[in-house]
Structure formats: C-alpha cells, structure tokens
Structure 1
Amino acid sequence: MGTLLRVVRSRHPGVRIEPHQRYPDALCDQLLDGEIDLGLCRGMRHVRGLARR
C-alpha cells in the first residue's frame, strides 16, 4: 500500500489520504453508503454494487 500512496500523493498533492482498517462488513457498508471512496481488500465476498479489480 505504501507504493500506491506515494503515487497518489505525487500526482495529487492536495488529496487528503486517511488509511483506516475496517472489518469486511463495515468496509462494504461504508463504501456503499459513500462514507469512504476506496477500500482495499482480499478474501472478501462479492457484494452487489461494488467493483473489484
């Protein structure tokens, strides 16, 4: 994740980045509710309405 954050900060220095750990259910709920913009996950179930790449 460090590399990803370095790239974002170098390309968009004004973007506020706040990494926080979430449990899978909370991560899904907060993404769907628009409370957070990006979630990094592994081993999570597929949730309708969320794109995985």
Structure 2
Amino acid sequence: MRVPDLLKLIPEERLSFLVDHHKTDHKVKKLPASLLFKSLLYSQFEVKQNSL
C-alpha cells in the first residue's frame, strides 16, 4: 500500500478535528499540523534512511 492510498483512508475532516481538538496550530501558522502529519507519514514509508 502506498502513502496516497493511506491518506485517502483518513478523511480530511478527521485530521482537521484532531488539529482543532489538540490545538496544534495555535502558535505555529506557517506549517499546519495536517501537512506535518502527511510529511511524516510519507517519510516513514518512502524514505529509506529517516532523520530528524
């Protein structure tokens, strides 16, 4: 299974609910939490050597 297929399984409404519920975008406006989540998911599945 590829990352785009996995992201289709997670509705955008659910991601926005979690962002609002945990207030992750309260102080950080330039990098939204939903984009950060998608980037982390992509790096976990697609990149051979992950780093911080």
TM-score, length basis structure 1: 0.28
> Which TM-score applies when normalising by structure 2?
0.28
User: Greater relative contact order (Cα 8 A, min sep 6): structure 1 or 2?
Assistant: 2
